[in-house]
Amino acid sequence: MLRLLSLLLPLSGAAAATPPTQLFSPLIPAKVLATFGALPKPIQYPQYTDTSAGKWLYFIPDTWTSGFFPTTPYALNTRKTLCGATPQNGLGSADWVALGRSASSGLVPLEIKNGQGHDVGFLSFPFVEELAVNPNNETAKTAINNFARLLANRFNPIVGCTRSWDTSDPTDFQVIIDNMMNLEVLFHSADLTGNSTLRDIAIKHADTTIINHIRPDGSTWHVIEYNSTTGSVIKKRTAQGFSDNSTWSRGQAWGIYGFANMYRLTGDAKYLATSRRLATYFLNNLPSDGIVPWDFNAPLTPAPRPADSSAATIAVNGLLLLAKSEGTAAAAKPWSDAAINILDKITALAWQPSWQSLLSNGTVNKPANNFLTGIVYGDYYYIRAGNELVSMGLASCR
Ligand SMILES: *[C@@H]1O[C@H](CO)[C@@H](O)[C@H](O)[C@H]1NC(C)=O
Ligand SMILES: *[C@@H]1O[C@H](CO)[C@@H](O)[C@H](O)[C@H]1NC(C)=O
Ligand SMILES: *[C@@H]1O[C@H](CO)[C@@H](O)[C@H](O)[C@H]1NC(C)=O
Ligand SMILES: *[C@@H]1O[C@H](CO)[C@@H](O)[C@H](O)[C@H]1NC(C)=O
Ligand SMILES: *[C@@H]1O[C@H](CO)[C@@H](O)[C@H](O)[C@H]1NC(C)=O
């Protein structure tokens, strides 16, 4: 694997990769503050932008992406802790925790009832951040436990997974690779309540995903359909990718992160090995320009093949988590170098000072013709990437 990775070194240039300066731009806190001030009332959340001016489109709270904007001010609070507040970096311009709390208000009703299936894990993110700031916040604890219960209720022991999407035929049990990101809420709730069944469910889901979602070359299918009464696989297909057999880059990125996170949460080496396999496929299939395409098998013509800046920033966070999971600096470096390289390339392509989002060139859903936008989770993972690089000693603030 290391030999394969060495093929990537020319991408990052002869010199050691350097994180882009935009990662620490004062435009980041300025844009988050402006978006906070413009949230519709009653509250709605930004998900993606238009394609011409980069203006946010807002969605009702019962939407799978609603947790990302409220989580973003907490990421800036983390950044303020890491970097301090200076007139130059703009981090002193708001009480970020207060903003995160205020923006979370629209999510609380969802812990009782929502239409988001497995995506309750994403909806729990701001409450997880809140507990990191204030471990005694009962509202946040209750939200995490309720979201975890909703996900656990979707577990089918015959299949060995939590159901991602609801279907008109309940025996058609659909699981998407993205679901790996939602497992973390089960661990948080297991820690809060002492209920280890929640943890067991997450582990079983991840183990079943290893068996059925990953191809021998380390690429992933987007959707696996199981028969809920027999547990057998009915179909392997795509929903948002180029074709059933292609590799949708955001799904691959969720997988890199999801399995590295499983390793962090359990210490089980098979999850580390799985994250490495997915990361190796991702890096070996990047085009020579280093820009993450929306699907690794999407045609190159007509050029340019659309990028997905959100797949790029999610993969960067997955690669940095993988780097932190490795036992030695030598094993970590190829992953963190690759992460910095992807950040450099996507910043050069997609950093948009005049847009409301930080980045352009997001692909929300190419088959639905929704691409060339900013995306709220792409921006969130961009900020997180900067924070991670600082805390890993791989970037300095400014
Ligand atoms: C607890 O967390 C909730 C949800 O994030 C927030 O609305 C509330 O302000 C927090 N309470 C305190 C006392 O910090
Ligand atoms: C633990 O969680 C599982 C899954 O939600 C649930 O079925 C079970 O009743 C819980 N156990 C306790 C003791 O609350
Ligand atoms: C699942 O299997 C049962 C029993 O064989 C069958 O009745 C049902 O139609 C199957 N469902 C799907 C979606 O294939
Ligand atoms: C997808 O791959 C399978 C083997 O993995 C093959 O049987 C099938 O024909 C392929 N489908 C397409 C549309 O390429
Ligand atoms: C990036 O976005 C710009 C416009 O926002 C577009 O012109 C360009 O083709 C996109 N490039 C890729 C590789 O997606």
Task: For the chain, give every domain's residue range.
Answer: 21-392
**Catalytic residue among 62, 95, 166, 178, which?**
178
- List the residue whose alpha carbon is closest to atom 13 of ligand 3: 172
Q: Which two tokens stand for residue 279?
A: 């990361």
Q: Give distance in angstroms: CA of 101 to centre of ligand 1.
A: 5
The 10s digit of each residue's pLDDT in 358-368 is: 999 999 999 99
Cα 223 to ligand 5 centre (Å):
28
Looking from the CA of residue 243, the nearest atom of ligand 4 is 13
Q: How many Å separate Cα 366 from the centre of its chain?
A: 18
For residue 234, the ligand 3 atom closest to its alpha carbon is: 14
Tell the residue nearest (CA) to atom 10 of ligand 5. 361
pLDDT the model gives residue 398? 79
> pTM value?
0.95
Q: What's the CA-to-centroid distance between 23 and ligand 1, angstroms?
A: 29
Are 26 and 33 in contact by the 8 Å Cβ rule? The answer is no
Tell me, using a 6 A CB cutoff, whether residue 198 lines ligand 2: yes
Q: Which two tokens stand for residue 367?
A: 């088959």
What pLDDT shows up at residue 16? 61
Backbone angles phi, psi at 53, to 5 degrees: -115, -5
Angstrom distances, CA of residue 360 to CA of 154, 256, 351: 35, 23, 7
Q: Which residues of 336-347 are buried (b: 16+ CB within 10 A; e: fewer)?
A: bbbbbbbbbbbb
To the query of whether residue 379 is one of the catalytic residues in this protein, the response is no
Which of 71, 96, 101 has most ligand 1 atoms within 8 Å of CB, for mutation? 101
Residue of 163, 166, 171 to mutate, ligand 3, most atoms within 8 A of C-beta: 171
The atom number, within ligand 3, closest to the CA of 228 reads 1
Per-residue b or e along 48-63, where b marks 16 or more CB atoms closer than 10 Å to that residue's CB: bbeeeebebebbebeb
Contact 208, 159 (CB under 8 A): yes
Question: 283 C-alpha to center of ligand 5: Å?
Answer: 21
Q: Is 200 a catalytic residue?
A: no
Residue with the smallest CA separation from ligand 4 atom 1 is 245
- Asked if 293 contacts 306 with a C-beta cutoff of 8 angstroms, the reply is yes
Say which ligand is closest to the CA of 221. 4
Q: Residue 217 class from Cβ within 10 Å (0-12 exposed, 13-18 middle, 19+ buried)?
A: exposed
Q: Which of 119, 295, 344, 379 is catalytic?
A: 119
Our answer on whether the CB atom of 360 is closer than 6 Å to any ligand 5 atom is: yes
Q: How far is the CA of 255 from the centre of ligand 3 (A)?
A: 28
What parts of the chain have a pLDDT lower than 50? 1-15
> Is the bond preceding residue 302 a cis peptide, omega within 30 degrees?
yes
Task: Say what the pLDDT of residue 58 is.
Answer: 98
Ligand nearest to the CA of 345: 5
State the CATH class of domain 21-392.
mainly alpha
Tell me the C-alpha distance between 253 and 312, whole Å: 8
What is the Cα–Cα distance from 171 to 168, expressed in whole angstroms?
A: 9
Please report the pLDDT score of residue 11 as a whole number: 42
Residues in CB range of 54: below 8 A, 6 or more apart: 352, 354, 355, 356, 357, 360, 374
Model pLDDT, residue 121 = 98
User: pLDDT per residue over 306-333, tens digit each?
Assistant: 999 999 999 999 999 999 999 999 999 9
Using CA atoms, how far apart are residues 271 and 280, in angstroms rounded to an integer?
A: 14
